[in-house]
Amino acid sequence: MIGIAALWISLLLLGGGLALDRVLSDAVTRNFDDGLNYVLTAMIASAEIGPDGEVLFNRPLADQRFLEPNSGLYYQISAKGHEDWRSRSLWDRALKAPVEHHDRNFHVYDSKQFPGEDLRIMERTIILPGSDTRWMFMVAAARAGLDDQIRTLRSTLFESFALLALGLIVLTTLQTLYGLRPLRRVRHEIVRMRAGEKNRVTEPMPSEVLPMVEELNALLAHNETQAEEARTHAGNLAHALKTPLTVIMNAATAQAPDLGETVIREATTMRRQVDHHLARARAVGRRGAAQSRAEVWPSLQAVERAVQRLYPDVRIDMDGDKAAEVRVERQDLDEMLGNLLENAAKYGGGSVFATVLRNGPMIEILVEDDGAGIPEADRTRIFDRGVRLDSGKPGTGLGLAIVRDVAEIYGGSVAMEESEDLGGLLVRLRLPAG
């Protein structure tokens, strides 16, 4: 940042300095030329034709430098067929007249005709009254004074702009270092967190950096939550598998006659436990994906066809918003809907009704049946792992626990109510709308 700023400042000041040098140098040169123009105009105004046909001044020129040899200010009047009339300051030298001009304009140019003395020459062709001769009036001045002024001007510009550039670069450096200081403080805070001294960035920060610090702290909290969830799930899975494994080992050690049945029964329980925790792990891994989208109606139709094959005597009807989308992975949505429809078909009286509704930022999926329902006192307990109110039908009591856990991971919820239309149970699954 400092290097780019220094380069940009240098380029801008260089461009501005060159432009200003051009403008001021031209102004100084024009002022110098105006002085030559004044002298040349005075020469023309005081010139006349003498009795012998030569040019003479009816009054002397005021500048005494014309009388001093090699003074740096000279004039010369020339014409074809006439002797040059030169100022005394030229001494034994003469100005070389250029090609004759046939216009009434002043012409100014630089000349190196005198060794060691650069000249600025202005000339004009004039026809004086009483003569048909074209007279070339020339006035010349040494460029030394003009060049000194331009050198002084450029030296002042260079020093001023160099000082200005240095000041701006120093200011930019200080501003950049001071502006990035909070980031260095954040880095030190992260180093302290890695060293285990703290778990959050708690040092006060400027308002420009505060949003980043808040997001960093939120990310740390999110990672801690995920780590805690992972530890909890690992502990729960270990606890859930410990009992079936103990039963199998005891049966095998005692060489129980029903060992095969025991292994099958407990292995089924372990598989459901593994499926449950895998479903949670998948949902936790996917919830950070903001692009997760699933259409509810196609998922509901696919689950309905699968459940219908398992329970052909059950009638399943569906209605509602067919264009609804939720911010859930399709596989997780199928898992939740499958558990709800399967439970309704298994424990209901033969009729199941599924409705898809939009309620503000949430999509509600209502699954109703005409069964005996669940007492209000048991509607919260039924979501716990392994809890079953009807032990006469096969199951592990993990289906509703999976639905609750996965829904909460995606920011949704699930609740049980009484169905007003069918008289049985109504499960209300709420998920964020896509």
294-432 carries CATH number 3.30.565.10? yes
- Asked whether residue 387 carries a pLDDT value surpassing 50, the answer given is no
Q: Average model confidence (pLDDT) for the chain?
A: 85
Q: Where are the domains of the chain?
A: 2-149, 221-286, 294-432
DSSP classification of residue 433: B
296 — pLDDT class (breaks 50, 70, 90): very high
Q: Which residue is listed with tokens 């219908």?
A: 308
| CB neighbourhood size of 70 (10 A) | 13
Phi first, then psi, for residue 249 (nearest 5°) are -65, -40
> Does residue 236 or residue 13 have the better pLDDT?
13
CA distances from 293 to 39, 226, 297, 330 (A): 90, 22, 13, 7
- Asked whether residue 237 carries a pLDDT value surpassing 50, the answer given is yes
Burial 79-96 (b: 16+ CB within 10 A, else e): beeeeebbbebbeeeebe
Q: Report the predicted TM-score, pTM, of the whole model to 2 decimal places.
A: 0.49
Least confident of 294-298, 386-390, 409-413: 386-390
Residue 261: its pLDDT value, please? 83
Residues paired with residue 77 on neighbouring β-strands, in sequence order: 85, 137
**Residue at 237: amino acid letter:** L
Digit-coded pLDDT (tens) for 17-68: 999 999 999 999 999 999 999 999 999 889 888 888 888 888 888 888 999 9
- Asked whether residue 340 carries a pLDDT value surpassing 50, the answer given is yes
